[in-house]
Chains A and B, each alone.
Chain A
Amino acid sequence: MDDFLQNNGFLIVTMVQQALLAMSLYYPLMSGQLSLASPGFYALGGYVAAIIGTIEYFAPWRDALGWSIFPLEWLAAGIISGVLAVLVGIPALRLRGIYLALATIAFVEILRVICLNLEITGGAIGIFGVPQLFESRWSYIWTFGPLLILMLFFSYRIDRSRVGRAFKAIREDELAADAMGINPTRYKVLAFVIGAVLAGVVGAMSAPFLNTWNARQGTFDASIAYLAYVLIGGSRSMWGPLLGGTLLAALPEVLRPLKDSRLIINGVVLVFASIYMPQGIAGAVGRIRNFTVRKFGSARSEK
C-alpha cells in the first residue's frame, strides 16, 4: 500500500486537484455562464502563495507563523481572486455564451503575459523553491481532499438554497428570471466570484505541491482542459465536474504505455464522449437511473 501511494500519490492528488478546478467552472455554469477564467485565478492564487512563501518581505511572518502561514496563503489567494473576479466579472458578464468564453480566455492571456513580465512573479523563469507543506507528494491529499469534500457539501447545499435557485433560473431563462424579480447581474457575478475564489485557493494549495510556479500554470490549454472536464463529466450536477476532472486527469497517465498514440486515444475518447453523452457522464448515469426507475418501478418515495 505504501509503495502504491509513493508511486501514484502525485497522480491521485492531481486527480483531486483537477476535479476541484473543474468545479470552479461548475458554479458559473450553474447560472448559465460559460466562463473559462479559472486558469487565470488558479495562476494568481499560486503566485500569491509562492510570493508569500519565498520573498524576503514575508520572512518574519514565515518564521513567526510556522506551518500556519499556509492557511493564511489560501485565505489571501481567495480574497485577492474574489476581488479581481468582481472587477472583471461586472463588465465581462454583460457578454453571453461564446463571447463571454472569449473574453475570459483573453483575461487568462492578459494575466499570463503580465506575470511573464513582472519582476515579483519571477518573469519567464517563475518562482522556484516554494516551501513545502508536507514531505511526500501523497500527503497533499490532506489539503486537496478536505477542500473537495467541503466543496461537494457546498454544492449540495447551494443547489437547494434560494441563491442556487436564482442561479438555475438564470441558466434556464435569464429574461424570465429577471421578470420574476431576480437580479441577473448580481447572481451571475456571485457565481463567477465563487468559481474564482475556489480556483485561487486551489492555486495557492498547488504552489507548495508543485514546488515551483510560473506563467505556464494559467494558459489557454488549461482553459480548454477544464472545459473538457465539465463537458465530459456533465455540468448539471456536482458529480459531473468531479468525475470529469478525476477521470480525464488520470487518462493520459493510464494510457502512458501506449507512448505517443495515447494523445490520439485521449482525443477519440473526448469526441465519442461528447457525441454519445451530451449531458456528460453524470447526465448519462442519471438517464440510466431514470430508465430503470420507470421500467422496474420507483423505490424512491416522492412527496
Chain B
Amino acid sequence: MTVLLEAERLCRNFGGLKAVNNVSFQVVEGEIFGLIGPNGAGKTTLFNLMTGLTPVSNGTLRYRGEYLTGLPPHRIAGKGIGRTFQNIRLFKGLSALENIKVSQHVNTNCGLFSGIFCTPASRAEEKMVDEKAWELLKLIGLADRATELAENFSYGDQRRLEIGRALALEPQVLLLDEPAAGMNSAEKHGLTEFIRGIREQFKLTVLLIEHHVPLVMNLCDRIAVLNFGELIAVGNPVDVQKNPAVIEAYLGAE
C-alpha cells in the first residue's frame, strides 16, 4: 500500500474565513476516497487546492513524494491528476469528441509547425488521439453523439462527458466533484458501477465529493468528513457513520 497523495496541515483562508483549516490526510494508491461534509465545509476548496486552481495559504501537498504546492494547474494535470467540476465546466461550444481530444494535450507533443504541415509524426499522433477519443466516447456511452456540441447534452450526459474528458488525461488520480448531482436513482446506481469499472480498467485512485450518503457508503473504501474547514473524521464508512462528531455535524448535538 503506497501513499499516493499526502496533505499536511493544509490551510486556505479567504480573508478571515478559514475555508480549509489544518487538514491532513493520506490517500492510498487504488482506493476510492470519499470526501463528505455539510454545505460550505470546504470540500470543493480542498479539490481546488489539490489541482492548483486555488493557491495554498499554508501547509503542503505531496503526490508520490513530489510537492504539488505552488505548481500551476496545468503542471499538476500533467503529473496525472484529472478532475471534474461541481458546476460542470465543459468546453460548451466544442463537440463531445473535441472535448475529449483537448484533454489528450499533455500526452501528445506536436507543435504548431508539425500541425500545419501535417508531418508524418503529427498524422500518426492525430490518428492516435482520434482513436483514443472514440474509445472513451464508447466507454461513457456517447459515441453516437460525438459531433454534437457539449452544451446540447443533458445534465447527466454532461457529467459523464466531463469524466470522459478527465480520463483522456490518462490520470492516475481522478477527482470527482459531486458526480451524482442531478441524477435519478437509476443513474446513480449506474454511476457506482461505472466508477468501480473505470478504477479497475485504468488502475485509478479516485477521490470523490458526494452528498448522496448511500452512494458514498456503498462505493468508498474510506471517507473523510469535513466541517467548517476542519477534518473531523477519517476512516472506513461504517466507523465514520457511528462517529459522534460526524453525527453532530450533520444532525446537531443532543
A residues bordering B, Cβ < 8 Å? Answer: 154, 157-158, 160-166, 168-169, 171-173, 175-184, 190, 236, 302-303
Contacts and interface: CB of A to CB of B under 8 A. Distances in A.
Interface string B70-87: 001110011000110100
Given A168-B94, A169-B94, A172-B92, A180 B116 contact: no
Nearest to B79: A181
Contacts of B74: 178-184
Interface stretch (B5-13, B104-112, B214-222, B228-236): B104-112
Contact of A180 (B115, B129, B147, B165): B165
A290 to B, nearest CB: 11
Nearest to B166: A180
A164 B115 contact: yes
B122 A161 contact: yes
A180 B169 contact: yes
Interface string B114-146: 011110001001100100000000000000001
B242 interface: no
A160 B166 CA distance: 21
* Central interface residue in B51, B93, B115, B129, by most chain A CB within 10 Å: B115
Nearest to B115: A161
Contact of B77 (A165, A166, A180): A180
Contact of A166 (B78, B105, B118, B129): B105
Given A157-B115, A163-B115, A172-B93, A178 B73 contact: yes
B177 to A, nearest CB: 11
A178 B72 CA distance: 8
Given A160-B126, A168-B102, A180-B166, 17 more contacts: A161-B110, A161-B112, A162-B108, A163-B112, A163-B115, A165-B101, A168-B98, A169-B105, A172-B90, A175-B53, A179-B53, A179-B73, A179-B83, A180-B82, A180-B106, A181-B106, A183-B72
A163 B111 CA distance: 7
Interface residues of B, number: 39
Contacts of A172: 90-94
A302 B146 CA distance: 10
A179 B77 contact: yes
A68 B110 CA distance: 33
Contacts of B94: 168-169, 172
Contact of B105 (A173, A176, A180, A190): A180
Nearest to B106: A181
B189 to A, nearest CB: 28
A182 B77 CA distance: 9
A169 B102 contact: yes
Contact of B90 (A162, A165, A176, A190): A176
A157 B119 CA distance: 12
B110 A180 contact: no
B103 A181 contact: yes
A232 to B, nearest CB: 20
A175 B89 contact: yes
Contacts of A169: 91, 94, 102, 105
A172 B129 CA distance: 20
A165 B146 contact: no
A181 B105 contact: yes
14 contacts: A157-B117, A157-B118, A161-B112, A162-B122, A163-B110, A165-B98, A165-B102, A166-B102, A169-B91, A169-B94, A172-B91, A180-B77, A180-B106, A181-B78
